[in-house]
Chain A
Amino acid sequence: MRHVFSVRIGTVGFRVGSDWRAPIAELGRLYADYPAPEDGIPDFNVRLFAARPWRRWLRPAVTLGGDFVLPEAAPLPLAQGLLAAEMAMNLQMALGQRRYLLLHASAVERDGRAVLMTGLSGAGKSTLAALLAARGWRLMGDEFALVDPTNGLVHAFPRLVSLKNEAIAVVRSALPNACFGPLLAGTPKGDIRHLVPDAEAIARMAEPARPALILFPRFGFEPAERGVGPSEVFVRLTQASTNYVALGERGFEAMTRLVRDVPARAIDYPHADAAVAQVEALWDSL
């Protein structure tokens, strides 16, 4: 393709090809401090292309392609090309990742131990991860936590943090000096702005951590907390995994070990600051 960008996020290499220069330039700027894929060989290819040749010029619309595709994915306007690239990279992971048990969860680390946070869209997992990073936790990722079936360790996937709607201002005020992508207004998920993970998150992205706490946060409720038993954790995490079934018995073993070994709590919180305090108090009580 005309424009190409390669990057390694955590242990995973991507090559993004595009019919247009703009999304590639934006990726290059935001991922400037990231390394290239190991040995120059990407694990996944992503393509951003014009559905019909003239659509490259006339009201451009970005269609997503790659090693793995969803046939019903609708094209996005070129102004949202960065979002298209991020979505396509996530899709490769969700559909193609076979080395790790993939959990749709954010993760932060302290002293070699990780907190995994998972929940429905809007639960606040990206926001919480960004705010905890602002308080000195290492950001491991806001979208996927990768569990190694051989040893139970969690690997980082610190892609750009995708902040939506009200979370954008909350995180900007917590991290005034951080680097942000452009405001993408009116996307299918509302307003989106990407946060570039800090230098520590990038420098230590190949470093796994031992999972120590699983959280199911819920935004918009009075503060509350309850323990979650292993079988409920199992059900919730298999729902939050895109490749549990595909991994077969390896996935079963990894998931069983995770739910048996790691304590889990559901936390409700009215606003992000309250949640950060709840998470840190829980962590201190472990």
Chain B
Amino acid sequence: MAYRAEPADALRIEPLDDFTLVFHRRSGLTHLVTAPAPEILAALQEGPLTRDALLARLAERYDLADGSTAALDARLGELVAVGLIEAA
């Protein structure tokens, strides 16, 4: 199963401080997110990835505080729930 993010032109992403604002044009909703959500969105906007491929990509780019699949599954679940990514 691969995950796909809303395309770049569907979102307005504005980093503020520890939090990042994500305005979702389609729903009109504003989301206030912290790491690793902006990093996940950025990685998936380059193209769909499976969970394991995404984890490998993130580990390659960032020093992950919690590199477990369980932690990533939880974050992916949250982003799917609010409609910023979808499981395809």
Contacts and interface: CB of A to CB of B under 8 A. Distances in A.
A235 B30 CA distance: 10
A229 B32 contact: no
A229 B34 CA distance: 14
A44 interface: no
B30 A259 contact: no
Interface stretch (B10-18, B55-63, B73-81): B10-18
Contact of B19 (A231, A245, A248, A249): A231
Interface residues of B, number: 12
B21 interface: yes
Contacts of B28: 245, 248-249
Contact of B21 (A229, A245, A248, A256): A256
A252 B23 contact: yes
A169 B19 CA distance: 43
Interface string A224-248: 0000011100110010000001001
Contacts of A238: 30
Contacts of B17: 229-231
A98 interface: no
Contacts of B32: 231, 234-235
A259 B14 CA distance: 11
28 contacts: A229-B17, A230-B16, A230-B17, A231-B16, A231-B17, A231-B18, A231-B19, A231-B21, A231-B32, A234-B16, A234-B32, A235-B32, A238-B30, A245-B28, A248-B28, A249-B12, A249-B23, A249-B25, A249-B28, A252-B12, A252-B21, A252-B23, A252-B30, A256-B14, A256-B16, A256-B21, A259-B16, A260-B16
Chain A binding site: helix, strand, loop or mixed by DSSP?
A: helix
Interface in A247-285: 248-249, 252, 256, 259-260
Contacts of A249: 12, 23, 25, 28
Nearest to A238: B30
A252 B32 CA distance: 12
A77 B73 CA distance: 58
Interface string A86-100: 000000000000000
Interface in B41-72: none
B25 A234 contact: no
A156 to B, nearest CB: 27
Interface in B1-42: 12, 14, 16-19, 21, 23, 25, 28, 30, 32
Nearest to A257: B14
A252 B29 CA distance: 9
B30 to A, nearest CB: 6
Contacts of A245: 28
A256 B23 CA distance: 10
A205 to B, nearest CB: 31
A246 to B, nearest CB: 9
A154 to B, nearest CB: 21
Interface in A182-235: 229-231, 234-235
